[in-house]
Amino acid sequence: MQWESLINPAELAAQVISFLVLLFLLKKFFWAKMFAVLDSRKRKIADELDGLTAQQQEIAGLKADLARQLARIEDTARVRIAAAVDEGRMLTDEMRKKAYLDAQLVIENTNEMIRQKILKAETDLKEKIIELSLRAAEFAIQEKFTEAGDRKLIEDFLKDLDRVS
Residue-wise pLDDT for 11-33, tens only, equals 889 999 999 999 888 888 887 78
Measure the CA–CA gap between 99 and 69, rounded to whole angstroms: 44
Residue 13 belongs to a domain: yes
Q: Which amino acid is at 73?
A: I
Residue 121 belongs to a domain: yes
Residue 3 belongs to a domain: no
pLDDT in tens for each of the 165 residues of the chain?
A: 466 667 788 888 999 999 999 988 888 888 778 888 889 999 999 999 999 999 999 999 999 999 999 999 999 999 999 999 999 999 999 999 999 999 999 999 999 999 999 989 888 887 787 777 777 777 666 655 666 766 777 777 777 776 665
Measure the CA–CA gap between 62 and 64, rounded to whole angstroms: 5
SS3 8: coil
- Number of neighbouring beta carbons within 10 Å of residue 153: 18
Note down the domain range covering 100: 8-164
Domain count, the chain: 1
